[in-house]
Structure 1
Amino acid sequence: MKLSVVILNYNVRYFLELCLKSVEVAITDLDAEIIVVDNNSSDNSCVMVQQLFPRVKLIQNSQNLGFSKANNLGVAQAKGQYICILNPDTVVAEDTFINCLNYAKNQSYLGIIGCQLIDGRGKFLPESKRHVPTPLVALKKIIGFSNSYYANHLSASEIGKVDVLVGAFMLLKKEVYDAVGGFDEAYFMYGEDIDLSYKVLKAGYCNYYYGESSIIHFKGESTLKNRLYAKRFYGAMQIFYNKHFKSHALLNAIVWLGIKLSIRNRKSPKAVRFQVGEHIIVSKNAVFNMPMPFKYTVVNQLNDAATHSQIIFDESTLSYKDIISAMSTSDQKKSFTFRILSSSAQFIIGSDSSQQRGDVLQLN
C-alpha cells in the first residue's frame, strides 16, 4: 500500500465529515487507506464515520489520550509505505497527496513534507514552515520578532528545505516515523510536531515545504486560544527545551521568564463576528433553489463581490481545489467570509478566526 492517512479526531464531527470527503476524493487513484483515531468524542463523530465512511478504519479510544499517543496508535496500524498525519479540521485538494508523493520520490534522505496551509478566511498560515525554535529564536518571538521563528526564506508558494513543519499536515515514510520513535508521548498537545521535525533532522533526513499545494486548515477546532491553551503550549515548549537544549541554562531562564509573563498576561480572545452584507452561493448547478435561512444570490463562479459578502461554496458542484484557490486568491481588503455547503446539503461550515471555534449551520 502506498499511503495511510491518519486523522485524529476530538469532538469536531462536522469538520471531520468534510475532511473525510475531501480525503476520499484525493486518494481515488492511490492505493491508500484512511485511519481515524477518535479520542473519546461525545458529539456522535464515531457513529457518523461508521455510517457515512464504512471503508475508514476507526479506532475508538475510551479516553482522550492526547495528540502524540493517539496518532502513534493510528500509525501502528497503518499499512502504507507513506503516512500522512492530518488534522480533522482540514480540507485537502484532489491532487494534494499525488503531488506530494511525486515530489517525495525524487528526494534523497527524505524526512517530512509539509504543504501550504490557509485558514478559513483564505489567509496563509505562517506556521506552515518554521525554523527550529531554539531558546534565542523563542526569546525573539516572545518579545515580538517572529522573523527568526518562521521560515521566511521561502515564499508561501515556493518549494524548499525547512526545519519544522506543522502537525496539521505531515507526510513522511513510515520507516522514518518508526526510526525516530514517532511522536514523543511526553507531549499531550502542542509541540509534538516541532519535536518530531527536529528528531527527523537530527537523524540525518531533510524536511521539505511544498508550497505549490494548498489545503484549508480551519484551525482552533479542538481547543480555544485561552490561558489554558497558553499554559499547555508553553509547557510543551518547556519539554522541548529540556529535551534538546539543556546546555543553554542562562538563555533558558530568560525564556522561561518570558513564557510565564505571556501566560499571566494572556486573556481569552474576544469572539470575532464579521458583518455580512450579502450571501453569495457559488454553484455550477443550473437550477439552485435550495431553501436557506437567509436571502442569497447564486453565481457559477466567483468574480466580483461586494465588501463583507459571505461566500458559500457548493461542495456538490465544485472541486476542493477550486474552493481552496478561490479562498486563497480572494481580495482580503473586502473582508469576505467563507463557508462550504456540504454535498449532502445537511450543513454549512466555516471559520472566521483561528482564535475560536468555527461555525456550523445545520440545515436539516
Structure 2
Amino acid sequence: MKDRKTPPQDSRTCTVIIVSYYTGPVLLDCLQAALEQEGLDGVVLVDNGNDETMRKKVDKVTVSDRRLRVLRGHGNVGFARGCNMGVATAEADYILILNPDCVMRPGSMRRAIEVLTQHPAAAALTLKIENSDGSEQRGGRRNLISPWSCLVELFRLDKVMPNNPHAQRINLHETPPFDTVTAVQCISGAFMMMPRTVYTALGGMDEDYFLHFEDVDLCLRIQKSGYQILYVPDVTVMHMKGTSRTLPLFVEWHKSMSAITYFNKHFCSGRSCFLLAPISISILLRFLLLAVPLTVVWLWSCIMRACSRADSDHSGS
C-alpha cells in the first residue's frame, strides 16, 4: 500500500471544483456554503450551461468574493472534462470535487483535510452524504462495480450467500453505519476530496465518460495504484438530487453509454469480452424500457410548468 507526502499541518488548503449545468437556485446555496469553509483556497465553478438569471447572480458573488472563479463559454463538455478543467487552474494542496446541488455543513472541509493528512495511504475521501430528509444517500459508500457485483445485484446473491464477503451488494447505505473512518472500495463524485498531486498523477477524470461512472472509474484506478479510499461518517453533506432541468432521457442515455464504456475499459480482455455482451445488452434494454416513461413524465412536467406560467401571467394582467 502506498504512502504519500502530506503538507505541513498549518499550510493545508483546498480548492473546490463545481461543475454546473442548469442546476437551479441550490447552486447559490452550494457556493455560499463552500465559501464559508475553513481551509478554503478558492472555488472554481465550471459553468457547462446555466440560464442568464443564474449567471448574473453568480457574477454578483464573484464581485463580493474574489475566491470564486468562473469558467464559462466552453459549452457542455461533460462532468469529467469539466472537473479536469477546474483542477487545472487549482494550486491548493487538495481538490474537492463537489456536485452543484451539494451543501456542506460548517467545518466539513477542515475535517476532511485533517483526515487526509492523518492517513498518508489514502488518496480520496468522502463524508456521509445525506438526502434532504437526513437519511443516508444511496451511492455514497459502495463496492466497486464489476460483472460479478452486477450478478449479485441482479439475482440478490447476498441473500443466498449472506456470509460470503464476495457476495455483497454494490451500495452500502442499507448496511449498518460505520462508527469511525473506514476504508471503502468506491465513493461518489458528489463529494470527493483528493490530494491535487495524486489526482494529476492519475490523469484526473477519464474524459471518455460524459456523465456518470467517471467517479467509479477513478476509484478503480486509485485502488489499482495501491492507495486507500476513506469514508468519514462523523461529518455530513446534504445532496439535493433532482434540481437540474436536464432532460432525464439525456441523463439515462449517457449513464447507459458510460456503463458500457466502463466495463469495456476494465473487464474486457480476450474471451472475457464475449461474457460482457449480455451485460451490454441488458444495459441497453434497461434504457429502452425507461425511455418511454421518462419522456412522458418530462413532457407532462413541461406542460404543467407552461400552464403555471400562463396562470401567473393571467393573474398579473
Aligned-residue offset at 1:52: 2.4
In the alignment, the residues of structure 1 paired with residue 94 and residue 118 of structure 2 have an alpha-carbon distance, to the nearest angstrom, of: 14
Residue 87 of structure 2: aligned partner: 75
Alignment partner, residue 278 of structure 1: none
Could you say which residue in structure 1 is the equivalent of 2:34? 23
Aligned with residue 268 of structure 1, among 268, 288, 294:
294
Q: Which has the higher contact order (CA 8 A, sep 6+)?
A: 2
Matched, 1:193 2:202: no
- Higher mean C-alpha displacement, 139-148 vs 191-200: 139-148
Deviations 1:100-141 (A, max 9, x none): 111111113221101111122322112001111011112333
1:124 equivalent to 2:146? Answer no
SS at match of 1:264: helix
Asked if residue 37 in structure 1 is aligned to residue 37 in structure 2, the reply is no
1:257 to partner: Cα distance: 2.7
Q: Distance in 2 between matches of 1:224 and 1:84?
A: 24
Q: CA deviation at 1:158?
A: 4.3
Q: Which sections of structure 1, spanning at least 5 residues, go unmatched?
A: 272-364
Counterpart selection for 1:3 from 9, 14, 34: 14
Deviations 1:246-303 (A, max 9, x none): 13334312212321221122232987xxxxxxxxxxxxxxxxxxxxxxxxxxxxxxxx
Q: TM-score, normalised by structure 2?
A: 0.78
Q: Which amino acid aligns with 2:43?
A: I
Find the counterpart in structure 1 of residue 237 from structure 2. Answer: 215
Matches within 5 A, 1:216-295: 216-222=238-244, 226-247=248-269, 248-266=272-290, 267-268=293-294
CA distance in 1: counterparts of 2:285 and 2:152, whole angstroms: 14
Aligned to 2:5: none
Instruction: Give the fraction of aligned pairs with identical amino acids, expressed as a percent.
Output: 25
Is the CA contact 2:46–2:71 (under 8 Å) kept in the aligned structure 1?
A: yes
CA distance in 2, matches of 1:42, 1:223: 11
> Relative to structure 2, which stretch is displaced further, 219-228 or 235-244?
219-228
1:50 equivalenced with 2:64 (yes/no): no
3-state SS of paired residue (2:46):
strand
Structure 2 gap ranges (5+):
1-11, 159-167, 298-317
Would you say how many aligned residue pairs link Structure 1 and Structure 2? 269
List per-residue Cα deviations over 1:298-326 (Å, max 9, x = no partner): xxxxxxxxxxxxxxxxxxxxxxxxxxxxx
Give the structure-1-normalised TM-score.
0.69
Give the conservation status (yes or no) of the 8 Å contact 2:127–2:237.
yes
Q: Which moved more, 1:146-155 or 1:119-128?
A: 146-155
**SS of equivalent to 1:126:** coil
Contact 1:154–1:160 (CA under 8 A) maintained in structure 2: no
RMSD (CA atoms) = 2.2
